[in-house]
Chains A and B, each alone.
Chain A
């Protein structure tokens, strides 16, 4: 009996079951590729955060002379700024706790990151020092703290994404192997 006769006699062809399975495999492959794409985009986010911080630091290095000064009423409303010593103590505690937080995320393998929020905190320190009139003496302390914390965050996210991409690629390769074995078996 010729292969085509089998179908002429009313036997149902195995194509629909095989097509559904291969469609599932294809959609899983597409999902996997999308995940890898998303992870690759995420892994370079740290660089954008560092670039934003460096831009902010350039402004701070000039003591924000390009920004207009607050009117006297706003100054009166804000009141006396905290002393430089208080701000430095806060910076020390913030740096220590932020570094511990990033290291604990590395240890737990967490995906969480707070890059842009850290830039906001560091901007706060720049502005507090600026209003206290001590930005020139303490600029490098804030800059060093920022580069350390943001550098660690970037490295953590990059390492996490690299690991997840590797796992995803292994899964995709495994599925391809299974698919090829299954196709050979069917043939």
Chain B
């Protein structure tokens, strides 16, 4: 089957177009996925800043009740899987989940290791490095941001004098949002790209196959049948319906058949005259 003219014409085209379109779609999807994840991380970073700014006044006034309410209200938002504030020692002081309050978090755990990898913790870190992805105990895929809460003049000059000016970092806010909307969007994009690839393949391969069949294979089949008939001695068969470059070949084959027919007739007449 692979040796026929049609397969030798269509198989390489199909494989080349299929492969290249698939490679392009995969790379494009990968780039789009990276961009969408980066956008989501940026959105979460902005949300983290919003929560910190919202809680700033309550922290300045050391109003723990208000701070607890802010964390609970933001944590109740749809899509927020975790929200907690650690102090410098890694102790969870406020959390969306009240059961977590008072727990100590390991500095080597995901989200903390980015800053605490070395003997001296990093004081600044890029927003993309603050992000981490994991699956929580409920099986939900979470994209989490761990953002530092920096000391400010208003903090160490506050009436409570709790923080000194030497402290650069006061604590950490950890927020985790469900990745379900992102994954859903990626799945939709993936399925659209698959459909697009299939349509391109059908059009390209189908179009090439249809045109080749019409312009090349059918005329060649007619020529083959005609020459086979002539070879079998049937010199009265006709050949028509072929156009383009193949029409020259058709004319030559037809004239050969006509000459054969005339020679055949001459031979018959000679034989008749001889016997007469």
Contacts and interface: CB of A to CB of B under 8 A. Distances in A.
A85 interface: yes
A173 interface: no
A91 B27 contact: yes
Contacts of A106: 12
Interface in B1-40: 2-3, 8, 11-12, 15-16, 18-20, 22-24, 26-27, 30-31, 33-34
A162 B26 contact: no
B11 A155 contact: yes
Contacts, number: 64
Nearest to B8: A159
A60 to B, nearest CB: 14
Interface residues of A, number: 28
B20 A148 contact: yes
Given A103-B16, A152-B12, A152-B15, A144 B22 contact: yes
A91 B23 contact: yes
Contacts of A148: 15-16, 18-20, 22-23
A88 B16 contact: no
Contacts of B33: 137
A35 interface: no
| A interface secondary structure, majority | helix
Contact of B23 (A84, A85, A92, A134): A92
A96 to B, nearest CB: 7
Interface residues of B, number: 19
A120 interface: no
A28 to B, nearest CB: 26
Interface in A148-187: 148-149, 151-152, 155-156, 158-159, 162
Given A147-B19, A148-B19, A92 B8 contact: no
Given A137-B33, A141-B30, A149 B12 contact: no
Contacts of B16: 99, 102-103, 148, 152
Interface string A85-113: 10010011001100100110010000000
Contacts of B31: 85, 88
A152 B22 CA distance: 15
A138 interface: yes
A41 B27 CA distance: 36
A140 interface: yes
B27 A138 contact: yes
Given A106-B12, A155-B12, A162-B3, A141 B27 contact: yes
B19 A151 contact: yes
Nearest to B33: A137
A56 interface: no
Contacts of B20: 95-96, 99, 148
A149 B19 contact: yes
Interface of A: 84-85, 88, 91-92, 95-96, 99, 102-103, 106, 134, 137-138, 140-141, 144-145, 147-149, 151-152, 155-156, 158-159, 162
Interface of B: 2-3, 8, 11-12, 15-16, 18-20, 22-24, 26-27, 30-31, 33-34
Given A92-B27, A141-B27, 9 more contacts: A96-B20, A102-B16, A103-B12, A134-B30, A137-B30, A141-B30, A145-B19, A148-B18, A148-B23
Question: Which 3 pairs, one residue from A and one from B, show the smallest C-beta to C-beta distance?
Answer: A148-B19, A141-B26, A144-B22
